[in-house]
Amino acid sequence: MNLADEYRPRVWGDLVGQPKVRMTVDRLRARRGLLGRAYMVTGKSGTGKTTIAELIAYEVANPMFIEALPAGELTVAKLIEKECESRFRPLQGEGRVYVVNEFHRLTLAAVAQFLDILERIPRHAAWMFTSTQDAKDWGEQSEDRAAFVSRCLRLPLTSQGLAKAFAARLREIAAAEGLDGRPESAYVSLVNRCRGNFREALQAIEAGEMLST
């Protein structure tokens, strides 16, 4: 298992950065719960989109009832099937979550079908959409896409102000793996060179870049 998978946050307390998103999720959890809605998580690669989608999904659903659906392969027939399936609450009384990564690859037909699906999400279900493309920019390309975006709760991730927090966490991981031999400033430089991509920085550490020479 690579370092990115091994050290992916499993609980919210392990998430580095993105305080606004965490505050939004905390507020939703306390007031109305996290189910019965659609989420749109967007941001640059390596800033935490998949992690946040998984944290929400695993909080409300058993892994047996979390399904990843490739955006480019979602036909109208497939979506009708999934909508029918979503109406049945899992026997354990937990939620059911569908995760669609890179939603910008959805066909126009799939987008049109989602306009109905997202209007009647069961109270025990949730849809998660992630993409590196900005939701606003994507939505401006057509009326249906704009309507699709309006039906989702947007969680845009920032890539600003992450260098020091990412660097500190990267150094902790490097030390735990016996791969640390550089000062924290070197980790900040690594994060900046990787354009804030935490996963890319971890790959560099795994390759031994932070070992002392």
pLDDT digits (tens, 9 = 90+) for 105-137: 999 999 999 999 999 999 999 999 999 999 999
Domain ranges of the chain: 18-156, 163-206
What is the per-residue pLDDT for 213? 66
CATH class of 18-156: alpha beta
Mean pLDDT of the chain: 92
If DSSP states are collapsed to H, E and C, what string results for the chain?
Answer: CCHHHHCCCCCHHHCCCCHHHHHHHHHHHHHCCCCCEEEEEECCCCCCHHHHHHHHHHHHEEEEEEEECCHHHCCHHHHHHHHHHHCCCCCCCCEEEEEEECHHHCCHHHHHHHHHHCCCCCCCEEEEEEECCCHHHHHCCCHHHHHHHHCCEEEECCCCCCHHHHHHHHHHHHHHCCCCCCCHHHHHHHHHHCCCCHHHHHHHHHCCCCCCC
What's the pTM value of the predicted model, to 2 decimals?
0.90
Query: Each residue of 46-95: pLDDT tens digit?
Result: 888 999 999 999 999 999 999 999 999 999 999 999 999 999 988 776 89
